[in-house]
Structure 1
Amino acid sequence: MQLDGATRRFLVAVLTGFGLLRLWAMFAVPFTDTTEARYGEIARKMVETGNWLTPQFDYGVPFWGKPPLHTWLSAGGMQLFGVNEVAARLPILLTALAVLFLVWLWVRDTVGRNTALVAMAVLATMAMFFGASGFVMTDMPMVLSTTLVMVGFWQAVGGGNSRWGYGVFLGLAIGMLAKGPVAVVLSGIPLMLWLALTWNWHLLRLLPWARGMALLTVLVAPWYVAAEIATPGFLRYFLIGEHVQRFLTPGWQGDLYGSGHREAKGMIWLFWLMAALPWSLVAALLLTRPGKLVTMFRQDRSAWLVYLLLWALSPLLLFTPASNILAAYVLPGLPAAAVLLVVLFTQMFEDQPSRAARTGFAIATLAIFALFLALTSGAVFAPQKIRLKSDKALVAAASSAMPGAPLYTLGGRSYSAEFYSRGKARAIDPEDFARLAGSGAPVAFSVPPDMASEAATLGLENLGKYGRHVLFVTQPTNEVK
């Protein structure tokens, strides 16, 4: 791929602009319920309690849903920089940057610097990747895992650098500590299919199996053993419940930490189309020339395009029969999808004017940038209008109005209220609400709007609506500014 100086500068500007927008969002947007606030609060509890072995869903209640790598990352950030959103998000952003670097390094060595720069820009601007790059959850460490495995394998067996083979086992270790055995499956599907289709099974001999497995065991086994000893029952729930029943049982009722996400089977493909925007539109454009696509794959003697395709499709193949899925499950395949789309597009339309391609790229990146800028601006300047699911402002108002008073939330657990109150906010039911409201003690309540009239009848003072909830207190207070 040939790029002039102006195009390179534009790509660097795109990466810089999206990076600055990501940083602004990390500083300005509060934790929102449920996912990010929940994982942020689990990490905060790890710092507070000093228990770095077992993530805690609540004080004394182990969180068996995921291994602790993402919690260690966010808790480590808060240990270093204080309990705040940026400290928890920064390690996740660093994992995203590591993924981008791996993609750039790999594509540079395989097809050249220019293609590597474009592929990195495409991946960085994919809707789901950009959103997850500074979001406290398990998925970005998982993407780092699968990317390291896939890049490490190709570089070790095809790039002539055997040291990359250790990257395969290090990547598997990261995945096992980020999400568990699903990391092995997501990496194994494309690798095994590629080896079978190309009949290159002999390449497996090039991996450092003895030392690699020793590395994997040393990094992973101690935590799994210690976790089962500390909280018996973890392995059964995590390996069977989270890895089998969650995906095969619609509306799985065994989830200890929420409810199942029941989706129609095959919904993962629609999730991919949304997650890869705006570049999933390029995939649709490529499909308009099926004959050319087939020719390009046939002429690829190294089968690199097949490798990329299988990697990109692996989450879709795994989760197509599953009902209990989330849109973020497509993330591990996005690095390969970004590279594949760039390589196929440049080969398929190499005879077309480059100006048209540059214009289309500029329009697509500006459109997705405008979307994320609008969402971030809305979260910062107009949280009420976009119905931001965060109780940060409410907790601040309650603390200002009634310093030291307990805060209770009605209508379910609010992880954002727990995080911003440093674990002091507690969920209560309506019966406890009536009892506490009449106790005469100084108490603050976070009440859903549909229960505001009931709260007023109990003699509580309405301090106003903050986000999705109304703040009530049990005694007169100074005006909250």
Structure 2
Amino acid sequence: MSRTQTKAFLYFTALILFVITLRIILMTSMPLLDTTEARYGELARVTATGHYWLMPHMSASQPFFAKPPLATWFAASSWLAFGHNEFALRLPSLLLVLLSCLALLYGAQSLKMTRQQWLLASFVMLTAPIGFISAGAVMTDATQLAVVTWAMVLLWRLQTCAEPSTLDQYGLWAVLGIGAIAKGLATWVLIGLPVLLFWACSSRAIIYQHIKKIWFWPGILLFIGLVLAWYIPAEIYYPGFLKYFIIGEHFQRFLEPGWKGDMYGIAHRQAIGMVWVYWAVSIAIWLPIFIHGIVKDKPLINASLDTQTKWLWAWVLAPLLFFTLSRNIIWTYTLTALPAFALLTANFWPTLSSRFKKAMQVLIAAWLILATVASLIWIPQQAENRSARKLIQQAQSDYPNLPLYAYSSDEFSVSYYTKGNVHVVDDYNAVITLLQQPDKLLITSKKLAPQLAAKEQAAIIGSNNYHALLMTRHQ
């Protein structure tokens, strides 16, 4: 490696370590945010303490059918191993995003990628907002990202090799089996759609050779075994799981705007095509390179593109095109497109004009400064307003002997920070009756708190942007 290459290698390594350090600071300092993070954090806590390892539980009486258990297994195991804290819950997500970066390194030779290009691609993944947030949030998305990235890299290695590697064939089918326990059919769709799009832009000979190298009976049997090993016991011990998970979560969620059958949250009704807005926000400072690439390569209509570039564009565009007509989406649905976009960025970078590079360097520097300030000051402060942590700490410190109730509030962080020791009230009349009793604590939404306090002579003793803590009058 030349002196210039060594300098570039050390430069990108230092930048990546810096970004990871910022992420670790946030993982340590921030409370679990309502609703998503706190929901999955509480799911992990209940699963670990209740030993619900076959099917994660939201409570002793409520199994969680919305997602397979892999991400919860990771979070719950880390929580038990490294302490009952937010960092332990978030650690698997960071490791899984880094594992996705390692997948790109494993495929570097077949992708004709130097170590410097791999580092740049990893830097893009970690600095794109969707990657930075996912690398350290208690969600299922980092697990799916790792599965999809490894599957796509293994598929490409099989495409480019003269003789298929048995290790890669076993690895591909093992990853597909693991994908069923990560996010179910959605994971297979996010792997299969880019492949189908690539085949649609390829010759019959390429398609035939690819299928021939993928098809591997020992691997297929391994895949079937991995899938059935969890899904059969899950349905036996929890009848009705498969119907809700397969039909509800995979079809009704996307085909029915504002789907009413969601047992664990609220269906998200968005405008058609919103996924492209989410994608622009997801990659943020790297958006100019995406636009540059679209104009330069004209993917899907440019027959002269080389095979690798077609593969990467199919990987980027397939999930975006798939979710274009879907209205029940969230911004993390763009995450699996990020690794391929990072690889395209690494390929485009040497071809950019010096003026374009300088502009991008200014954007990157501005982002790093903003991310540093935000990670140390602004984000932790804002995060406290999206969680009940401080209010719970106040209640436990100042009034340790008073019972705590929750009504009309995002109760996941309340439940997590009280270790489940909170009485959830579902009925408004029951809350009115409760507030007529002396020496009771109630956490509710900030909007509702003034109304309750005015009617029933309760006092607001603490609040943030989303929650309020009330105490009824003394006896």
Q: In structure 2, how many angstroms separate the alpha carbons of the residues matched to 1:260 and 1:102?
A: 33
Deviation, 1:294, is: 9.6
Q: Could you tell me whether the CA contact under 8 Å between 1:108 and 1:114 is conserved in 2?
A: no
Partner residue in 1 for 2:65:
64
Pick from 462, 468, 472: which aligns with 1:464?
A: 462
Give the Cα–Cα distance (whole angstroms) in 1 for the partners of residues 416 and 55 of structure 2: 18
Mean Cα deviation higher: 316-325 or 459-468: 459-468
**TM-aligned CA deviation for residue 317 of structure 1:** 2.1
Structure 2 counterpart of 1:150: 152
Mapped contact 2:197–2:318 kept (Cα < 8 A): no
Worse-matched range after superposition: 453-462 or 388-397: 453-462
Q: Which moved more, 1:427-436 or 1:44-53?
A: 427-436
Deviation at 1:378, TM superposition (A): 4.5
State whether structure 2 residue 317 is matched by structure 1 residue 298.
Answer: no
Hey, what's the Cα distance between the residues in 2 that align with 1:8 and 1:127?
23
Matches of 2:314 and 2:147, distance apart in 1: 16
1:79 equivalent to 2:75? Answer: no
Q: Deviations over 1:55-77 (max 9, x none)?
A: 11333111111111111010011
| Matched residue, 1:210 | 217
Equivalent residue, structure 2, for 1:311: 315
Shift of 1:51: 1.1
Deviation at 1:427, TM superposition (A): 3.1
Aligned partner (choices 394, 398, 401) of residue 398 of structure 2 = 401
Question: Quick one: which amino acid aligns to residue 84 of structure 2?
Answer: V
User: Aligned letter for 2:16?
Assistant: L
**Is this contact kept in 2: 1:92–1:134, CA < 8 A?**
yes
Task: Choose 275-284 or 206-215, whichever is displaced more.
Answer: 206-215
**Are the aligned partners of 1:96 and 1:144 in contact in 2 as well (CA < 8 Å)?**
yes
> Aligned partners of 1:281 and 1:135: how far apart in 2?
27
Q: 1:412 aligns with which of 399, 409, 414?
A: 409
* AA at the equivalent of 2:367: I
The verdict on how the C-alpha distance between 1:82 and 1:381 changes in structure 2, with shifts beyond 3 A counting, is closer
Q: Distance in 2 between matches of 1:388 and 1:105?
A: 41
- Which letter does structure 1 place at the counterpart of 2:371? F
Classify the secondary structure of the residue corresponding to 2:111.
Answer: helix
Contact 1:144 1:171 in 2 (8 A): no
Residue 436 (structure 2) aligns with: 438
Report the Cα distance in structure 1 between the residues aligned to 2:368 and 2:347, rounded to whole angstroms. 23
Answer yes or no: is the 8 Å Cα contact 1:248–1:321 preserved in 2.
Answer: no
Aligned pair 1:187/2:191, yes or no? Answer: yes
Deviation readout 1:346-369 (Å, 9 max, x if unpaired): 3x43xx44xx56534432322333
The two structures have a TM-score, normalised by structure 2, of 0.91
CA drift at 1:466:
4.2
- Residue 229 of structure 2 is matched in structure 1 by 222
Q: Tell me which amino acid in the other structure corresponds to 2:259.
A: W
* 1:279 partner SS: helix
Which residue of structure 2 aligns with residue 237 of structure 1?
A: 244
Partner residue in 1 for 2:137: 135
Distance 1:219 1:409, change over 3 A: same
Amino acid at match of 2:273: G
Residue in 1 aligned with 2:330? 326
Q: Could you tell me which of 114, 117, 133 is aligned with 1:115?
A: 117
For 2:361, give the aligned amino acid. A
Name the residue aligned to 1:198: 203
Which segment drifts farther, 195-204 or 454-463? 454-463
| CA displacement at 1:108 relative to structure 2 | 4.8
1:104, distance to aligned residue in structure 2 (A):
2.6
Q: Indicate conservation of the 8 Å contact 2:29/2:380, yes or no.
A: no
Gaps of 5+ in 1: none
Q: 1:187 to 1:449 in 2, by over 3 A?
A: closer
Residues 46-65 of structure 1: matches in 2 within 5 Å?
46-65=47-66
In 1, Cα distance between the equivalents of 2:429 and 2:386? 25
Q: Are 1:406 and 1:444, in contact at CA under 8 Å, matched by a contact in 2?
A: yes
Distance 1:17 1:295, change over 3 A: same
Aligned mates of 1:233, 1:257 — CA distance in 2: 15
**1:249 aligned residue (243, 256, 261):** 256
Tell me the percent identity.
31
* 1:311 CA displacement: 0.8
Q: CA deviation at 1:272?
A: 1.0
The answer to whether the aligner puts 1:362 opposite 2:361 as a matched pair is: yes
AA partner of residue 333 (structure 2)? Y
The answer to whether 1:262 aligns with 2:269 is: yes
In the alignment, is the contact (CA less than 8 A) between 1:418 and 1:424 conserved in 2?
yes
Which 10-residue stretch deviates more, 112-121 or 404-413?
A: 404-413
Alpha-carbon distance change, 438 to 34 in structure 1, aligned in 2, over 3 angstroms: same
Match of 1:335 in 2: 339
C-alpha displacement of 1:374: 4.2
Q: Which residue identity is paired with 2:416?
A: F
Distance in 1 separating the partners of 2:291 and 2:444: 47
Distance 1:91 1:99 in 2: 12
Give 1:106's aligned amino acid: G
C-alpha deviation, 1:252, in angstroms: 0.8
1:365-392 deviations in whole A, cap 9, x for unaligned?
2233334334434556533xx7731000
Q: Kindly state the Cα deviation for residue 282 of structure 1 after the two structures are TM-superposed.
A: 1.0
- Out of 255, 258, 282, the residue aligned to residue 275 of structure 1 is 282
Q: Which residue of 1 aligns with 2:10?
A: 9
Q: What is the SS of the residue equivalent to 1:107?
A: coil
1:237-291, Cα deviation, whole Å (9 max, x unpaired): 1111111111111111111112210111221112111111211221223345468
Amino acid at match of 1:44: R
| Alignment partner, residue 444 of structure 2 | 447
Please say if residues 77 and 88 of structure 1, whose CA atoms lie closer than 8 Å, have aligned partners that are also in contact. yes
Contact in 2 for aligned 1:28/1:380 (Cα 8 Å): no
- Work out whether residues 268 and 330 of structure 2, in 8 Å CA contact, stay in contact via their aligned partners in 1: yes
The DSSP-based 3-state class of the residue aligned with 1:342 is helix
Residues 1:248 and 1:296: Cα distance change in structure 2 (over 3 Å): closer
Residue 215 of structure 1: SS of its match in structure 2?
Answer: helix
SS of the equivalent of 1:470 reads strand
Q: Is the 8 A contact 2:34 2:410 kept in 1?
A: no
Q: CA deviation at 1:35?
A: 0.5
SS in 1 for 2:184: coil
Task: State the one-letter code of the partner of 1:447.
Answer: T
Distance in 2 between residues matched to 1:91 and 1:322, nearest whole Å? 29
Cα distance in 2 for partners of 1:70, 1:157 equals: 30
